[in-house]
Structures are given as structure tokens and as C-alpha cells.
Structure 1
Amino acid sequence: MPADLAPGRDQTGLQAPGIQAPWAMRDTVAFAGIGTTRYGNFPETDSYGLGCEALNAALDDAGLKPGDIDGLIVNRMPSYERFAEIMGINPQYCLLTEAPGRFSGVSLALAAQAIATGAAKTIALVYGNNGRSVRMMYGGGDSQWSPWGMTSPGAIHAMMWQRHMHQYGTTHADLGWVAEAFRHHACLNPDAVMHGRPITRQDHAAARPICEPLKLLDYCLINDGAVAWILTSAERARDMKRPPVLLSGYARQDAFHYGSAPADDFWQPTLGACQSVYDRAGIGREDIQGLGIYDNFSPTVLFSLEGLGFCKPGEGGDFVRDGALQLGTGRWPTNTSGGHLSDSYMQGWGIIAECVRQLRDDCGDRQIPNAQAMQYICATNIAQSLILRRDA
């Protein structure tokens, strides 16, 4: 074994099978506050203005002032310096992370590591996106994959779903259960973009085709908005305004072997490695009450469930049938805000905020009864999962 590998860890750096050593960071870092804006089309402001609105809401939620923040991570804003100036924050730790949605979970892990190592005590993480009002194109002619005719993320996911259907016999109709469940949740969420606009699986099947076999209701929503989280140590969070939500476990695995051409199955090996999150959190899959899954497109939900072991590869279609993901009818209520498909595409940031709200019993009509632990899953080439837990 290479000398630089820690005992009990394999070549990926993840905990090796059969090793049950406690994760050093288990339950040491907590969410102390969260804030979100409205989602929609707001040309009168920009990503900085939206980010300030979200962070002010998070500060109020935690009972803190800007001067209490000594760490800052921003995402989808041009400059952390400009944002810190506007908010009156002079941190000792600051960072701007990359724009793709996978960096919501990456940003969270970086903040947790900074707190654990003493680089900062209280970190604000702020995502601000005005992509709708400036007509940002997610994809387009300058895509790195355009030589293959796939000029948008939707084309890549359509290809992956085509392979899944061919290999396992799943169908486009299986995705209707996902879209219907998440829209049902949005109709319970007064802040969701699609609140009051229910759909059926028949609506899903009849929707306008976008990129075969995916249709309109398989795609996420593009809106302006912002999300802010405030993280600190669990000990400090217990003295703040709201009940803390603990980061119990986190796992990540990257895969870039397809850098020159898109792969159509990258979710399987990378997500499989992230099952170490259960050992790190010290709880099992059956201890989870609800899920937050990065649903940029509806097939990603099935990829996530299969990759994290909720069902075997190829069985995702069977797993989601009969409302398994829907609050009130299924064992695994998922994306209870409506998710990217029906709440708004805040690139994972809003989904993680919803997990925190569930664990604080803040969700009203969409509340999961007795939610003690929530799991977030992101099926990308930086695959990741995290488990959040109510503080005992």
C-alpha cells in the first residue's frame, strides 16, 4: 500500500470495506442558519443582490450579524471581494467555487473542513444566480461536447437514459412517477415556482419532446434566485437561535476518464464508491427518513437511487413506481420542496436547504413526519452524498 494512504482507506481515499473506524468529522459541524429568496425572473437585480437577500435571511435565521462571519464561500457570483464589500464582511477565509451544480456539495465539504481545522469559525456559503433574467444558456454552440452533436446537458442525459432503457428495459413512462411526485411536493410548497400547477403521469407522457427520449417535464426549471447557508461547529450552533442540523457524513468520488468524449454510464462506479457515507455517518440506509436528489433531469433520480444502493442497477424504474418517492404514499419522500424539476434549479443549494428545513420541522404541509436524518445525493462526475441529522 502506498505510504501516503491512511490506514483503512483504499486507492480512492474512501474507507475500505469492512473498516468501521469512526469518521473524525462526524457530527462536528452544523448548519446554524439558512436563507432563500423568491425564485423567478428578476431583471431589476443581479446575483449579488439576490445573494445579499439570501444571506441576510440566513443571518436572521441564525441570530447573527455580518460581523460574526469570518469565512465566506460564494458560488455563481463574479467576485467574493465585491460580495464581501457589499455585505460588510472581512473574513479570514474566503473562496469562490466553480459554477457547476456539483459544487454545492463540494462547497459544503470545503466549509466543513475549514471549520474542523480552525481556518474559520463561522462560514457563510452563498449561491446567487440570475441566469433567467440574463438569458443564460446552459449548453449551446460552445459546449465542450458539441463535436458529437450534444450541445447541452440535456443531450448527455438523454443519451444516458437511452442506454439505461436499452440495457435494462426501463421506459420513459418510469420517469413520470418522478415528475409527478416532485410536482405534488411543489404544490405543497407555497414558495415553489410550480406551486398550484399539478401534473399527472399522462401530462408527463404528452409533454413536448426536447431531446429524445426526454420531454419538457423531464427538465429542470431555470430561474433567478439565491440560497445561503451558515455553518459553524456543532458546539457553537447549540448556542444560536435555531436548532442545529448536523453534518453526520460525507463521501465523494470523482471520475474524469471520459474527458474527451461523454460517457453514458459515469454514475455507476462513482456513486457506488459514495456508499461509504453510511459508515462515516454511523447510521444505515433504513435510518434515513427522506432524500434530496440532484434532479437536473428526471433520469438522474433513478441513477442516484441505483448508485447508492436503494435498488440494484437497472431496477430504478420498478423502485419509483406506485409513488415510492411521494410524501404520504411512499417510503422515500424525495425533493419535498419540488426539487429542480418543480421548485427551482438552484443547483443543489436549495435541495440541501430543504433537507435542513425538514430536520427542523419547518416544512408545513410538506413535512416528513419525525424526520431525524436526510440524505443528499448528486450523480455527476464529481459524485457525492451527504447525511444530515437532527441534533440529539
Structure 2
Amino acid sequence: MAIVGYAHSLVRRHAPEPLGVLAVDTARRAIADAGLEVADVDGFVSASMFPTAGAHAVEDGTSIVSSQWMAAHLGADARYTAGFDGVGALTGSLALGVNAVASGTADYVLLHRALHNPVGSYHANPMTAAVGWQQWTAPQGFFGPLQMIALPYNEYLARYGASREAMAAVLVEARKNGARIPWSYWHGKPLTAEEYLAAQTLVDPICRYDCDIPVDGVATFVLTSAERAADLPNKPVYIAGYASGLPPRRRLAQHWPLDDIMDAGFGLVSRLWERSGVGPAEIDLPQVYDGFSPFVYFWLEVLGLCPVGEAHRFVQAGGIDADRPDGLPALSGGGALGNGRMHGVPQMLECYLQLSGRAGERQRDKATIGVACHSSPHYGGAVVYSAVPF
């Protein structure tokens, strides 16, 4: 199975056109990039989850774009449409697309992710009464994603003696790389360690720069079999394997203890190496998920790219500096912190661009095996990509 084409919109706080218009335009460009016509594409997959804890309306074509909506508004003759319902959006969507092609249900599959930033406060809480599971959390102020990630990050800081100075290295690296990417919201806007350390704390110890910024943006990819890919204009990037994770223990929603994240992550990664036939020593292009900055530590450790409890020292010593000859390019695509809240797209896209030799001035000399990580290790997934057939 292979990726054979892509397109990416500009990433903006608020796009001038509706999300559906942006999505259809980006999809048409991806199909053309793959050397195909809309009539050739017979499968559509996506994850249309709107990632906000606020009370914004969810309307297809406006705040989300489903597979069915995309197929209909492209005017395609779709034999297969499906949407992934879960947090590890791109891993789940990709699995749906791979399975559709492998089973013969579809020949060419369009995978898309469309993100919307509504006007007003993104996570505004209009709640006047707490019901269901939230009665045990919301009255105490435990509501929304910032509190959710602050819990395991505080555990990490206390357990391993990490500091905010170490995390500054993560943000500087992500923004440095995102500043180089033309479609990034942060294009031309790197961040200094001093700016990071001076930023307002939102939920201790999370500050505003530890969070990806909500945006409007769309990315699309075209998938097909390795055999069909050989006849198309772009160098294919092959999908070697993927795996997803779920919490090992039942908890209240948003209750994410550090041990739950790591235990599930180790299980996920074990399955990933088994299914792909590679290991951490063979990965020269790891792209770790960074919707919140602590995820970088968690993924580096569960992938085996540094010892458990050592990620903060690893990054502070320049271990993920993509400009160093010995640096691990874990955020070379800028990630979410360097592009905007594109929900795992930067990780998948960087693997595709580098392994297909299409990264332009950012092209790395050595890029043969990549891994793209999505969401948290215990609620997400990871995909191994290869520059050569597997």
C-alpha cells in the first residue's frame, strides 16, 4: 500500500472561505497531484471529529467535513466512504483506507483531515450543570484538555526532576521548523526559549505555548496499491505497518495518569514493530505527536528513542535538533506546535514529503524509514512508512 499524492491548504486562524470549500479545493489538488481525475477516486476516508471542549455547533461542511460530504461535493462515484470514530484520527483513517484497497473495495482512496477554528473562545465552557461523569470533575475545575494534560505532565516533572527550561527546547525546535514551512500558521515566526519561559501559565504547569493553536486548515492524501502506484508520476511512499492504543484501565474521561499513558504506549509500540518488521534503531525519521508539548516526552520514551524518564534531558541536550548531524529529527515537520492544530497531519505529511524526496529545501539526505505518531500513546496510534516497498 502506498501514498501517491497530497495537497495542503494554508493554515490560518480563520480562513476566508468555508471549511467545505477549502476541503474540496484541497482534495482536487491532491487528486491532480497523484496524476488522477476525480472519476478515478472511488474511496473516501476521514476522521471528522471536531476537537473542542466547547459547545460549538457541529455542521458538516462548515465545522467538520465527513467522507460522505467530501465525496458528494466532489461529484465522485464513491464505492466506499468511511469515517474513523476515535482520538488517533489519522491512524484510524489510514487503516480504513488501507483495508479498503487491500480488500478490493476501492482502487484509489482519498484520505482527508479538515480542521476548523470557530469564532469566539475555542474551549468556552457554557456548562450550568454537571451531569454524568462530569459531575465528578467539572465542579472541582477539572474540565477540558488543559487540565487533562496538566495531570500527567505534573507527574512527569515530579517523578523525573524535569524543568520548564528543558521543555523550552521542544518549543524552540518545533517553531524553528514550522517557521520554514510556507503553509504553516507560524511561517517566519520562530520562538525563543526566553519567550516560552515568560509565557502566561494557563493550567500549572501548562502555558499557552505548550498547546497547539486552533486553526482552519485541510490536508489530503491519495492512497492506492503498490502495483498501481508504480504507474503514477510521484515516487510512492509505502505503508509498512500501523498500530493503535487504548487505556489499559477504566478511568473517568480526561483522567490520564502518566502510568496509563506509558503502559498503553509500550503495548502499542510493541505491536507496531511486530507488524512493520522494523525497530527503533531503523527509524531515521521519527515524527512524534505534539498537540501538547508533554506528548513529545511520552512518545520519545515509548518508541525507545531514549530511556524512560530521560526525554527531558535528551531534548535539552539538543537530541531532537534537526539541524545537528547527530540530531533526531522528531519535529522536523514542525509538528502541531509549529504548524497549528492539524491533528497529526504534520507528522504524516513530513514522512510523506521526506521519504518521497519532495521536501524541497528541507529535504534530508537520509530518510528511508519514518514513523508518524498521532495523539497520546494511550488514545492514539502510529504508522511506519518506507521509501522502498515492504
Q: TM-score with structure 1 length normalisation?
A: 0.87
Q: 1:3: which partner in 2?
A: none
Q: 1:128: which partner in 2?
A: 114
1:108-143 per-residue CA deviation (whole Å, 9 max, x = no partner) reads 11211221122212111111222x244472473559
Contact conserved, 1:125 with 1:228, CA < 8 A, in 2? yes
1:222 alignment partner AA: P
Out of 79, 92, 96, which is 2:79 matched to?
92
1:272 alignment partner AA: F
Distance of aligned partners of 1:198 and 1:253 in 2 relative to their CA distance in 1, 3 Å threshold: closer
- Alignment partner of 1:382: what SS? coil
Q: 1:278: which partner in 2?
A: 273
Out of 9, 13, 33, which is 2:5 matched to?
33
Structure 1 unaligned blocks of 5 or more: 1-28
Distance of aligned partners of 1:50 and 1:201 in 2 relative to their CA distance in 1, 3 Å threshold: same
Distance of aligned partners of 1:138 and 1:242 in 2 relative to their CA distance in 1, 3 Å threshold: farther
Q: Single out whichever of 294-303 and 140-149 deviates more from structure 2.
A: 140-149
Structure 2: how far apart are the matches of 1:102 and 1:121?
Answer: 24
Root mean square deviation, CA, Å: 2.0
Out of 86, 97, 100, which is 1:111 matched to?
97
The percentage of counterpart residues that share the same residue type is 26
1:61-113 per-residue CA deviation (whole Å, 9 max, x = no partner) reads 10111111111113333543332221011211111333x65111111112112
- Alignment partner of 1:254: what SS? coil
Structure 2: how far apart are the matches of 1:43 and 1:195?
Answer: 16
Distance of aligned partners of 1:273 and 1:139 in 2 relative to their CA distance in 1, 3 Å threshold: farther
Structure 1: how far apart are the matches of 2:219 and 2:123?
Answer: 20
Out of 168, 172, 196, which is 2:188 matched to?
196
Out of 127, 130, 137, which is 2:122 matched to?
137
1:44 alignment partner AA: P
Q: Aligned ranges for residues 310-389 of structure 1 at < 5 Å?
A: 310-329=305-324, 330-378=326-374, 379-389=376-386
Structure 1: how far apart are the matches of 2:178 and 2:334?
Answer: 4
Out of 238, 262, 272, which is 1:268 matched to?
262
- Alignment partner of 1:240: what SS? coil
The Cα shift of 1:263 comes to 2.5
- Alignment partner of 1:34: what SS? strand
Contact conserved, 1:222 with 1:345, CA < 8 A, in 2? yes
The Cα shift of 1:45 comes to 2.1
Distance of aligned partners of 1:348 and 1:138 in 2 relative to their CA distance in 1, 3 Å threshold: farther
Q: How many positions carry a matched residue from both structures?
A: 362
Structure 2: how far apart are the matches of 1:315 and 1:336?
Answer: 20
The Cα shift of 1:236 comes to 0.8
Structure 1: how far apart are the matches of 2:288 and 2:30?
Answer: 23
2:79 alignment partner AA: Q
Structure 1: how far apart are the matches of 2:356 and 2:236?
Answer: 8
1:71 alignment partner AA: G
Distance of aligned partners of 1:138 and 1:104 in 2 relative to their CA distance in 1, 3 Å threshold: farther
Structure 2: how far apart are the matches of 1:35 and 1:43?
Answer: 17
- Alignment partner of 1:210: what SS? strand
The Cα shift of 1:384 comes to 1.8
Contact conserved, 1:185 with 1:326, CA < 8 A, in 2? no
Q: 1:19: which partner in 2?
A: none
1:140 alignment partner AA: N
Distance of aligned partners of 1:251 and 1:55 in 2 relative to their CA distance in 1, 3 Å threshold: same
Out of 19, 26, 30, which is 1:47 matched to?
19
Distance of aligned partners of 1:186 and 1:67 in 2 relative to their CA distance in 1, 3 Å threshold: same
Structure 1: how far apart are the matches of 2:123 and 2:320?
Answer: 27
- Alignment partner of 1:323: what SS? coil
Structure 2: how far apart are the matches of 1:376 and 1:298?
Answer: 16
Structure 2: how far apart are the matches of 1:139 and 1:301?
Answer: 26
Structure 2: how far apart are the matches of 1:123 and 1:147?
Answer: 45
Contact conserved, 1:181 with 1:323, CA < 8 A, in 2? no
Out of 41, 52, 63, which is 1:69 matched to?
41
2:70 alignment partner AA: F
- Alignment partner of 2:380: what SS? strand
The Cα shift of 1:146 comes to 2.5
1:13-38 per-residue CA deviation (whole Å, 9 max, x = no partner) reads xxxxxxxxxxxxxxxx1101111100
Distance of aligned partners of 1:75 and 1:46 in 2 relative to their CA distance in 1, 3 Å threshold: farther
- Alignment partner of 1:320: what SS? helix
The Cα shift of 1:351 comes to 2.1
Structure 2 unaligned blocks of 5 or more: 49-63
Structure 1: how far apart are the matches of 2:22 and 2:47?
Answer: 12
Distance of aligned partners of 1:105 and 1:140 in 2 relative to their CA distance in 1, 3 Å threshold: farther
Residue 212 of structure 2 corresponds to residue 220 of structure 1: yes
1:263 alignment partner AA: W
- Alignment partner of 2:257: what SS? coil
1:332-352 per-residue CA deviation (whole Å, 9 max, x = no partner) reads 112223111121211012321
Structure 2: how far apart are the matches of 1:249 and 1:43?
Answer: 35
Distance of aligned partners of 1:247 and 1:148 in 2 relative to their CA distance in 1, 3 Å threshold: farther
Contact conserved, 1:92 with 1:119, CA < 8 A, in 2? yes
Structure 2: how far apart are the matches of 1:47 and 1:89?
Answer: 19
Distance of aligned partners of 1:101 and 1:367 in 2 relative to their CA distance in 1, 3 Å threshold: farther
Distance of aligned partners of 1:81 and 1:275 in 2 relative to their CA distance in 1, 3 Å threshold: closer
Contact conserved, 1:375 with 1:385, CA < 8 A, in 2? yes
